[in-house]
Amino acid sequence: MKRRWLAVLCLATVAALLTGCQGGQQPTQTFAEVTQYLGPAATNTPIPVNSNLTGVSDGSDAQDDSIFADNPYVVDHAADDIASDALGEEDTQDNGTADLGATVVYGAAEADATVYPYAGSSPIPLDPIDAPSPTPRSALNFTYVPYDVVSLGLSFEAPAGWIPDDTISEMYTLTEPEQQMKDGQLGVINLYAVPVNATYNESALTAEIKQRLSTIGSTNFIEWKPSLTATRFLMGSKGVYANYSGKLANGVQVGGRIHATSIDKVLYCIQITYPLNFKDDYLNIFSKLRETIKRTGR
């Protein structure tokens, strides 16, 4: 009897201890993970950066995976066709000297390529601040004097000291002195006054300019680049003009402008040819001539 009571007492003690432990145990709490939302996770495989960033094929069949493959700032073409260039008032002349075939590369590039830095999320070309600036050439200064061409019934102003020649009927030429030659090309002004059957309209003047350009370009030129035609007044009458540039067989680069109008059944035409690198200076001569030319009768 005594042993049974002792066993019951032991079981009661164990039960009390278990109950106390269970009452002191706290329930397990689950905390939600706190994160900053940065958008959906990227699952795409990273794009490898190809070392060939110019977009120029190296002859293999591999595709250019560069992130700059379609960069609009990368120049990789030659654009020497000036037929669609718009004509300006006096200063638009495609001289064909701009080198647009150079390749601009961003990032790791070939050893011979010019690399420009870029900043920000969008590549923007930044010229190096320490890049040397070309020394500007001083503008040529001309002294203008009046010329009276009785054979053509015209007067105008042109540079002093230029050599006149009126030995060809219906034509008058002024040529720059030999000692003033630049880049192997003298400045030359030709004036024409040719009687025609009727006063030319704009369409006929355009055809005349195009024909004269074709004639000029077919003579001793290995490169020839005429512009489109445009209209502008000459001696108070609407005229048509065009620019041109090219390289002669001897390698000399020349430029020029030709302008024609028709008044009282006479076709008047002014042409200037000059060394291409001095375009602006000689077009200033052309402007002075156009502004001062007038008919004097003959």
Print the SS3 string covering 106-132.
Answer: CCCCCCCCEECCCCCCCCCCCCCCCCC
Go through the domains of the chain in sequence order and give each one's CATH number.
Answer: 144-295 (3.40.1000.10)
pLDDT (0 to 100) of residue 82: 41
Token readout for 263 is 């008044």
Do residues 126 and 104 make contact, with C-beta atoms less than 8 angstroms apart? Answer: no
Q: Quick one: the chain helix, strand, coil %, rounded to 5?
A: 20, 25, 55
Amino acid at 223: E
Q: Which of 1-15, 52-66, 259-273 has the lowest mean pLDDT?
A: 52-66
Residue 247 phi, psi dihedral angles, 5° rounding:
-120, 130
Which helix (H) or strand (E) segment holds residue 239: the answer is strand 237-248
Ordered alpha helix ranges (H), the chain = 2-24, 202-217, 279-292
Give phi and psi for 102, each to the nearest 5: -70, 150
Question: pLDDT digit string (tens) for 214-268?
Answer: 999 999 999 999 999 999 999 999 999 999 999 999 999 999 999 999 999 999 9
Q: How confident is the model at residue 137 (pLDDT cuts 50, 70, 90)?
A: confident
- Tens digit of each residue's pLDDT (9 = 90 or more) over 144-202: 999 999 999 999 999 999 999 999 999 999 999 999 999 999 999 999 999 999 999 99
pLDDT on residue 297: 75
**Torsion angle, alpha carbons of 85, 254, 158, 259, to 10:** -40
β-pairing, 114-115 vs 104-105, is parallel
CA–CA distance, 258 with 270 (Å, rounded to integer): 6
For residue 86, which of 78, 98, 94 has the smallest C-alpha distance?
A: 94
Other CB atoms within a 10 A radius of the CB of residue 294 amount to: 10
pLDDT for 139 equals 87
Among candidates 156, 151, 94, which has minimal Cα distance to 285?
156
Report pLDDT digits (tens) over 10-56.
556 555 555 555 545 555 554 444 444 444 554 555 555 444 444 44
